[in-house]
Amino acid sequence: MSRLKWVPLAYPGSTKLDYTIALSGLVHISSARITWGYFGTNPLYIQSWSLMGRNGVGQPWVTLAQGGFPNSNTTGLSLDFLATDLRVVASASHWIGIYDLQINVPVSLQNLAVSANMQEVPNTAFGPAANLVDGNPSTRAYPGSGSLDYTLDPGQAAYIEAVHITWGDFGINAGGAHVESWRVLGLALDGLNWEVIAQGLFPASAKTIVSVQNRYRKLRVAAESSNWIGIGEVQVVGNALASALAGPLTVRSNVPEDPVYSLAWRYQAANLMDGDPSTLAYPGAKHLDYQVALGTQTRLSQAVVDWGYFGTNPAYIQSWSILARSGSNQPWVTLVQGAFPGRAITVVSLDYTATDLRLVADGTNWIGIYELQLEGVPLQ
């Protein structure tokens, strides 16, 4: 995960601020954290704010998030936007500033192990499987066959945002040797089943970008042709998932679980963190509020929320937030929040020491969550 960070305090000496950040090209923004400091906790200061993005000079600014008085030192945001520039804007009745802005973007996974699932011609004129991830699209993986099939292994479960395949001439040379069909597969977390993520025929492009937005143990890229074909490069963009916090963790629902539509169907709160994304925590309500007791002070670093179809169908989740506290007598602090997820899985970075965590969501229909995975380090 890549992180951009500002200097300790940006302070224009005004009741309004408006900062523009030029990014290094077109970047997918997955989350952001604004550190207001006392400007966000004292109601004399920030009264309204917004974070905007655009995907090119001359393009309109799109509001990604906005709010009133933050009532917190920091504001965490879950985002899903391709941007070349960001703007943070705020206004108040007194002079205001911002201490820090961090944005998180999925990055290319490093140290991928690659293996060929078919016989490779043992000839230096042909490209070995290792060329697939050497960072050089001009060194192709070329097995000397009309059928190719490679496995890419990140070494652990990973959240895959996208797979970038560079076909080179094999993707555009319709009159010569070219890819006639292709597919990308993912090995499910159970390590047993390969799922087809995407497939197609002649790419008609030197490069294909496959949106994945899911967790997998391994990936496979395969293609067929009536001629010998190869691939220039495969880039896997995402986040390696650290080991989940050692359990068992205690989960309870702060919303009464319906005895007929929740408990009778075994949709109890314990399913939220049972390590099985096929089980569902579902209270039988439009509002859910699950509380996790971590057992000890824990420095949280990441959360992975598996919404399933509740996050992809706009008829369900409309807003959500993750809150935490550092003791049973301490106030709850909002770490990150968002609107309709627009995806099955949301990955957010955290940086908070907590004893308890809550995941809260609201929908226009009854909603649930398939799995919550937390990463962090217990401090005791």
So what's the pLDDT on residue 248?
Answer: 67
C-alpha to C-alpha distance for 3 and 31, rounded to whole angstroms: 10
CB-based contact 296:378 (threshold 8 Å): yes
Asked if the model's pLDDT at residue 180 lies above 60, the reply is: yes
**Span 7-20, mean pLDDT?**
90
Asked if the model's pLDDT at residue 5 lies above 50, the reply is: no
Q: What is the mean pLDDT of the chain?
A: 90
CATH number of 113-240: 2.60.120.260
C-alpha to C-alpha distance for 240 and 193, rounded to whole angstroms: 20
C-alpha to C-alpha distance for 296 and 278, rounded to whole angstroms: 28
Confidence of residue 6 (pLDDT cuts 50, 70, 90): very low
Residues 323-374: tens digit of each pLDDT: 999 999 999 999 988 889 888 888 888 889 999 999 999 999 999 999 999 9
So what's the pLDDT on residue 7?
Answer: 45
Confidence of residue 3 (pLDDT cuts 50, 70, 90): very low
Return the DSSP state at 141: B
| Domain-wise residue ranges, the chain | 2-105, 113-240, 250-378
**DSSP-assigned beta bridge partners for residue 231:** 141
22 contact partners, CB below 8 Å, separation of at least 6: 84, 85
Strands (E) in 155-201, as ranges, are 158-166, 181-187, 194-201
Residues 96-106: tens digit of each pLDDT: 999 989 887 77
Asked if the model's pLDDT at residue 243 lies above 60, the reply is: no
Tell whether omega for the bond before 341 is within 30 degrees of 0, i.e. cis.
no
Residue with tokens 């401090």: 379
Confidence of residue 242 (pLDDT cuts 50, 70, 90): low
C-alpha to C-alpha distance for 360 and 130, rounded to whole angstroms: 44
CA dihedral sign of residues 265, 267, 268, 271 = positive
Asked if the model's pLDDT at residue 214 lies above 90, the reply is: no
Q: Which of 137, 75, 101 is nearest to 20 (CA)?
A: 101
More confident residue, 7 or 282: 282
The fraction of the chain above a pLDDT of 90, given in percent, is: 67
Indicate the length of the chain as a whole number: 380
Q: Which CATH superfamily is domain 250-378 in?
A: Galactose-binding domain-like (2.60.120.260)
More confident residue, 300 or 240: 300
Q: 252: which 2 tokens?
A: 């309870």
CA distances, 34 to each of 8, 55, 91, 349, 358 (Å)? 12, 21, 15, 13, 20
Confidence of residue 80 (pLDDT cuts 50, 70, 90): confident
Asked if the model's pLDDT at residue 72 lies above 90, the reply is: no
Is residue 37 helix, strand or coil?
helix
Domain with residues 2-105, CATH architecture: Sandwich (2.60)
**Span 223-238, mean pLDDT?**
95
